[in-house]
Structure 1
């Protein structure tokens, strides 16, 4: 393979040709003949009893086709949750009904009450304003701890209380952890908040339902990260549609970050209404609507304790977390604060004892689910903040304290049930120290002090678990689906290849990276390979894209399918050259007989597969197409060491990030340029959470940050130039590519790094402040400084 292509090359993203010129095909670009439009009338109160819905005036308005309410869906299934958690007492979580349209009660601002289908969007919107609602306001419960108090208003009347589950992990460690903390030479305690976020993908959600009465086939076009899973959940559990009669298509998708993994009520409604009305039905979410209807993220309140012995070795970690579920259980919500969070609480460190308690709580807020990192940012933030605080309390260097406690031998079985297969955390820290110029920090701090500014240095080390697997394990943990991936490799007669994958791209660069893998294996040009994804009608059943799984799981499925292709092609080549199959080698697109100059080109072999004039039909059937399903036997474990320098103005509280340096271990890297971009994007989102973003409700459940006027998104001038390095990876030991995943690292590692830097800056000014909750807005920093003086 030429050095300018294949694995390890920074091939340019082929998707950009259409994305940057405005000729992509997004769901909102899809308009079907005769389509109608739907507008959802949403609740403007957080909690209320629906006493009446009068649609008579609205139904007679121009263009109105039909108005649906919850009564139309009383026989439909509940929007399903894809993960069942069992609590520390052996009881399964409480799983209330999640209706397509509100039934009897509304439970959060934005809860859909009615769906108006009309000839135009404007007509549907106008009719919504004419609907008369009789809703009896009920007290809203917003604060998680208050929600668990005796006598608190219940979000769901049919449940005994607002506790979804009380999870403990590892439960048999609890007493030993308690004892270790009691006997420790030093214990550092920290209470912190992981602030609630609104995902805000560039493209809002869209759904278009269609129904073919002649065939009985349903089609849903949707902005989804995993169309096969949507088909399964919606067909089997909500609308009772056989899978072979339901097609789900996710075309180009403008970002997801987790918020487009889930099955939403709007998708089920459009699919159902298209059949009821015998015409296509389309919904396009507005940005304001997205704030009220997209699954939100994070929202944890945690107390963490770190115990150390007299030599500063970590002996135990204990955490207690309240995790907000919102009003309903979103698709993967229960797994985020439990199995994707608790299993990472050992971090990079050889802490012998860990106990994690999570109380998941229903409140009158928008449901919460996975967002870039999903559980791992929450775990990393707790652990890396408390380690930094411990270093200050002990008067030791925070890097030295981390190095002393690093895991150094692999594989390593943690006390929280996972086994890290590879890594080198000291090497990552070495790279970080070299690239971040720590030696020059004192001089930079002195320059800031001349102008009355405070400069701080924050560091962080983290590990994450990606490519969740294997299916038999996650099934035991409560997953209601497999977590394998699939690929079909179809070779054309002239040698070109179409790869159909169950993964889905929404900005990751799959159409560039996946061809690099297949091209490298065969030795042909990447341009000969096309990727198809996002349509359940022509791709094998797959689990979609999230959790940095695409290259590690989806790419590995492609490797396995391509290996089958090569094995069959080698048989054909051996026949064509009258040689033993064992002697056939494939390199640079040529099959050769080892030790000879006899060869046959890739294209000649593929043509022979489809034009079998000289072909051993008795041994090999015609054609060249293979499918593989890949189910990993472990997670992958990317890791990183990050450093951030901030400038804090003590007079205004303004925080400016001056430098940010990363050293990541992503295993083998397929496309360095795309990996750089993924890290940059993750850093922007993590820094956005640390500095700016905060989803806030008042005591009545009204969303105070319901637009970009109130919810501060990061902008270019909030970011420094990043110094990114991923050159020192340790290959994953259990997948065929040795890859680990890179899509979430920046969002996982950045938050504690920024907050550690801000605390360091403030303390350098002689102010005794050991923590500031995110986001560290100017007002919050200024107030913290005044309170600490």
Structure 2
């Protein structure tokens, strides 16, 4: 077999051919027979009591087939959070119902309270304009501090705006307080992790259809997680029997977390399709995406780092307010707690960690997992406070980190935040970063910048993240309401080609290229003979989708286990064909052979024999060659890295330019280096966007002021340098069969603190006593900080 198609080969992504030639099929490309269209009436106020909704005029408009309001869904369920979080006192979180359409109150600008189904989109839009809604505007609750002290509630029935008050690890609390009280030095930093809009290239879209003769429903939708969407709609929202609902996620143009979750529009088009007896399509416009897609981040944190006289870390203590918006989205309760608090030990041998998180309801769009999901928030807090501590102690920031790193001989390492790191070498990553980033040449580059009248700064960062969320028995104890395994079916066809059905969904990750490389390597056949089937719940085994850098670590491991079963059975068939025992058979380069002889059969011959079993010993070999495996990980995987950034700051304007960016990551074993590099590049762009330009703004009335690309700044190509990326320092994960760790979110985790550290360093080099600037570090913020520091 050509070995350039197996594990480790930088093969081009096969799926890119259809994407680049315009032949991909996205949800909005699908046109079903007799298809109709849905348009939603959305609230223009952030908080209001629905006194009445008159749809009579809209219902009589040309082409209108049906009009729905929240009254039509009062008796159905609500979309639940995926994790049940208990407060420090043991009280379960407050979990108000999230309806399909708003009922009783609207709770954020863009909250849908009615929907029109019509023959055309234009007719539906006209009819929405004819809906008369009497909504009494109520005071908007935007600020989290104000929300916690307010007697006005987003959800009146729970009589509070606090979802939960979570502590982790509660047994550490007293000891952490004591360590900080008695420490030689304590560094304190208050910071904001700014709210972001995910901005996937493809807006959300859904098509619901219903087959009256069989009672079957089909939902085509932009989803990272079709099986979870089906489960939520069936078990909690509409009560459709799960075996009567198929969810299909075709090509999806980006997700970044915002398409993991189930949204009310998906349930609406299904219910509407049954009522009107025709398929119903909805496609969001860009304004709807800004208003209603789950936003990311939005934490306000106070972090304290205690150190002894030698600079050894003694304790981290954090107090965070996390905005969950108007409703709980599916992973909104996990993101600020177990995906954030458990990483607050970082890469360091800090003996004590205590994390307090208060989740707060506000009249803003729901907040949920966005690329990195909790780990960027943790890393930003840790790495910013370490940099500040280094300045206060007069220590080199790299040496302070090295002094406190977990060392290779300490694995497996039980962190103070409750995780067990299995493998890593953070000093080696830092060594490589210093080499690739040419840290030794920085001072010369600083002098060159100063000669141009610019301030140059160097920022560094060391991060660790937890990926492949697992195992189910652990996350179940922590509050997860679903298992976090995945599954794969490997089907060898009679002619020798292979279909691999996977529970993970590909929407930019390159699964159609990387998964075949794994199977190709194991069987010794060319990857071009292997195709990947994903995204259709009627074809794939039950899996938990794609997020949290879990695809290869979890679903890829299921592919390995299923392929191993294929090999075991294929050896039995080959042994039968060659008249030996299966213990005598070896598989190399797609050929089954008897060691020490010239007897052999090819993989293709065995595949054909599997389906022509005329002389099988039926008591020992079944016909066919197809196997399924479910894989539940033993632990998270722990990618890590060391990043460096150099910026130039214009003292006259405050403009920041990223001149150099270096990312050295440990992803364990790498299946396809080209795909990994591309994933890191994408994450770096998003992280730099958060650090420099991206910010979601609500005014005091809850109006989203950044609801278009005219107002919400996205990073452009000329905002970014050519990245220096290295992933040669991998330490294989010890508990999954591929030794992989996950790479999709690393760049977005490691880059924000690196950039901000560089900006602060530049300002300090220019004589400005500035220790922190909140993201995004826009020219205005930098200029104002310089003026205030005079």
TM-score range, shorter chain: over 0.9
Alpha carbons 1:146, 1:152 under 8 Å: kept: no
| C-alpha separation in 2, matches of 1:778 and 1:104 | 43
Deviation at 1:131, TM superposition (A): 1.3
Query: Which position in structure 2 is the counterpart of 1:467?
Result: 468
Q: Over residues 725-753 of structure 1, what are the superposed CA-to-partner deviations in whole Å (9 max), with x where a residue is unaligned?
A: 00110000000000000000000000000
Q: Which residues of 2 match residues 388-787 of structure 1 at below 5 A? A: 388-408=387-407, 409-787=410-788
Find out whether 1:146 has 2:146 as its counterpart: yes
| C-alpha separation in 1, matches of 2:296 and 2:5 | 38
Q: Over residues 76-115 of structure 1, what are the superposed CA-to-partner deviations in whole Å (9 max), with x where a residue is unaligned?
A: 1111211111111101100001111110110000000110
| C-alpha separation in 1, matches of 2:372 and 2:608 | 45
Aligned to 1:358, the other structure's residue is in SS state strand
Query: Which position in structure 1 is the counterpart of 2:186?
Result: 187
| C-alpha separation in 2, matches of 1:676 and 1:46 | 41
Q: Which residues of 2 match residues 55-204 of structure 1 at below 5 A? A: 55-149=55-149, 151-204=150-203
Q: Unaligned 5+ residue runs, structure 1?
A: none
Deviation at 1:35, TM superposition (A): 1.1
Query: Which position in structure 2 is the counterpart of 1:217?
Result: 216
Q: Over residues 316-357 of structure 1, what are the superposed CA-to-partner deviations in whole Å (9 max), with x where a residue is unaligned?
A: 000000000000000010000000000000000000000000
Find out whether 1:335 has 2:300 as its counterpart: no
Aligned to 2:93, the other structure's residue is in SS state coil
Aligned to 2:210, the other structure's residue is in SS state strand
| C-alpha separation in 1, matches of 2:354 and 2:475 | 20
Aligned to 1:323, the other structure's residue is in SS state strand
Query: Which position in structure 2 is the counterpart of 1:19?
Result: 19
Aligned to 2:395, the other structure's residue is in SS state coil
Query: Which position in structure 2 is the counterpart of 1:243?
Result: 242
Q: Over residues 589-621 of structure 1, what are the superposed CA-to-partner deviations in whole Å (9 max), with x where a residue is unaligned?
A: 000111222111111111111011343223101
| C-alpha separation in 1, matches of 2:99 and 2:546 | 26
| C-alpha separation in 1, matches of 2:132 and 2:600 | 78
Deviation at 1:3, TM superposition (A): 3.2
Aligned to 1:4, the other structure's residue is in SS state helix
| C-alpha separation in 2, matches of 1:784 and 1:390 | 20
Aligned to 1:554, the other structure's residue is in SS state helix
Aligned to 2:247, the other structure's residue is in SS state strand
Aligned to 1:325, the other structure's residue is in SS state strand
Alpha carbons 1:576, 1:614 under 8 Å: kept: no
Alpha carbons 1:141, 1:152 under 8 Å: kept: no
Question: Structure 1 length as normaliser, TM-score?
Answer: 0.99
Q: Over residues 377-417 of structure 1, what are the superposed CA-to-partner deviations in whole Å (9 max), with x where a residue is unaligned?
A: 00000000000000000000000000000000211001111
| C-alpha separation in 2, matches of 1:170 and 1:662 | 31
| C-alpha separation in 1, matches of 2:777 and 2:610 | 63
Deviation at 1:2, TM superposition (A): 2.8
Query: Which position in structure 1 is the counterpart of 2:359?
Result: 360
| C-alpha separation in 1, matches of 2:615 and 2:22 | 48
| C-alpha separation in 1, matches of 2:747 and 2:195 | 18
| C-alpha separation in 1, matches of 2:495 and 2:118 | 50
| C-alpha separation in 2, matches of 1:579 and 1:131 | 77
| Bigger mean CA offset, 615-624 vs 68-77 | 615-624
Query: Which position in structure 1 is the counterpart of 2:267?
Result: 268
Aligned to 2:167, the other structure's residue is in SS state strand
Aligned to 1:334, the other structure's residue is in SS state coil
Query: Which position in structure 2 is the counterpart of 1:373?
Result: 372
| C-alpha separation in 2, matches of 1:287 and 1:587 | 52
Alpha carbons 1:608, 1:615 under 8 Å: kept: no
Aligned to 1:190, the other structure's residue is in SS state strand
Alpha carbons 1:69, 1:113 under 8 Å: kept: yes
Q: Over residues 44-69 of structure 1, what are the superposed CA-to-partner deviations in whole Å (9 max), with x where a residue is unaligned?
A: 00001111111122211111111110
Find out whether 1:39 has 2:70 as its counterpart: no
| C-alpha separation in 1, matches of 2:748 and 2:595 | 49
| C-alpha separation in 2, matches of 1:248 and 1:351 | 46
What is the aligned residue count?
A: 788
Query: Which position in structure 2 is the counterpart of 1:788?
Result: 789
The RMSD of aligned alpha carbons is: 0.7
Query: Which position in structure 2 is the counterpart of 1:387?
Result: 386
| C-alpha separation in 2, matches of 1:60 and 1:213 | 26
| C-alpha separation in 1, matches of 2:3 and 2:30 | 40
Runs (4+) of structure 1 exceeding 6 A deviation are none
Q: Over residues 232-289 of structure 1, what are the superposed CA-to-partner deviations in whole Å (9 max), with x where a residue is unaligned?
A: 0011110011111000000000000000000000000001111111111100000111
Q: Over residues 663-694 of structure 1, what are the superposed CA-to-partner deviations in whole Å (9 max), with x where a residue is unaligned?
A: 10000000000000000000000000000100
| C-alpha separation in 1, matches of 2:387 and 2:347 | 14
Question: Structure 2 length as normaliser, TM-score?
Answer: 0.99
Aligned to 1:355, the other structure's residue is in SS state strand
Deviation at 1:580, TM superposition (A): 2.1
Alpha carbons 1:608, 1:614 under 8 Å: kept: no
| C-alpha separation in 2, matches of 1:184 and 1:382 | 20
